[in-house]
């Protein structure tokens, strides 16, 4: 696969998602992370594929935040999450600037016929941002295919974002934050068999 692994010292934990371990990439929960969405350790692989018009291939750049539309809901589509084995997956969004979260009302991912919220939530009646999804069990479903001599499983997914009712043109700072520079999405895989 393209863009193979870079070894990271130490073991990553799910809490590291909130701390923003690498921005916008697929991540194997073990001892590796990916520079270009692909990550592998032993036989466990997680990747994001995209169809550029001639079939699905590994995505070589992070999935980024779409353009801001005041009080509108937008979707990110056309991607597939590819795994070499079953397990739990988590998705988080890492903002380049924390203040950009005020432009987001909600975010969710629909995958394997279920929807999971992430990004914005409430903890003890206080707004909290940067939250990952709960565990997304990808132990059934999906479609198998062959890649590089291995049997892989893919899941189509849609990320849905509802933007806040803020006129970003009223303030240069809001306009700058609405570009979401440095912001992107990150998947983490915890394989069923470790």
Phi, psi of 56 (to 5 degrees): -75, 130
CA–CA separation, 170 and 157 (whole Å): 35
Write the burial class of residue 169 (CB in 10 Å: 0-12 exposed, 13-18 middle, 19+ buried): exposed
Using alpha carbons, list the distances in angstroms from residue 67 to 22, 108, 126, 159. Answer: 22, 17, 27, 14
Stated pTM of the model: 0.79
Q: pLDDT tens digit string along 86-136? A: 999 999 999 999 999 999 999 999 999 999 999 999 889 998 999 999 999
Range of the domain at 70: 5-191
The number of distinct structural domains making up the chain is 1
Q: pLDDT tens digit string along 21-64? A: 333 345 544 433 344 555 444 557 899 999 998 999 999 899 99
Whether 3 shows a pLDDT value over 50: the answer reads no
């Amino acid at each position: 696969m393209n863009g193979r692994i870079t070894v990271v010292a130490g073991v990553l934990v799910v809490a590291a998602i909130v701390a923003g371990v690498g921005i916008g990439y697929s991540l194997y929960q073990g001892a590796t992370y990916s520079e270009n969405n692909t990550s592998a350790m032993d036989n466990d692989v997680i990747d994001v594929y995209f169809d550029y018009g001639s079939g699905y291939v590994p995505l070589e750049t992070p999935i980024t935040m779409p353009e801001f539309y005041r009080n509108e809901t937008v979707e990110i589509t056309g991607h597939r999450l590819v795994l070499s084995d079953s397990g739990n997956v988590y998705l988080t969004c890492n903002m380049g600037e924390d203040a950009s979260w005020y432009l987001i009302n909600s975010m969710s991912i629909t995958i394997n016929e279920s929807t999971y919220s992430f990004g914005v939530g409430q903890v003890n009646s206080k707004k909290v941002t940067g939250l990952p999804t709960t565990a997304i069990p990808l132990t059934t479903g999906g479609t198998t295919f062959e890649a590089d001599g291995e049997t892989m499983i893919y899941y189509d997914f849609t990320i849905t974002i509802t933007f806040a009712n803020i006129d970003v043109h009223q303030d240069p700072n809001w306009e700058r934050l609405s570009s979401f520079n440095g912001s992107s999405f990150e998947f983490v895989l915890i394989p069923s068999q470790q």
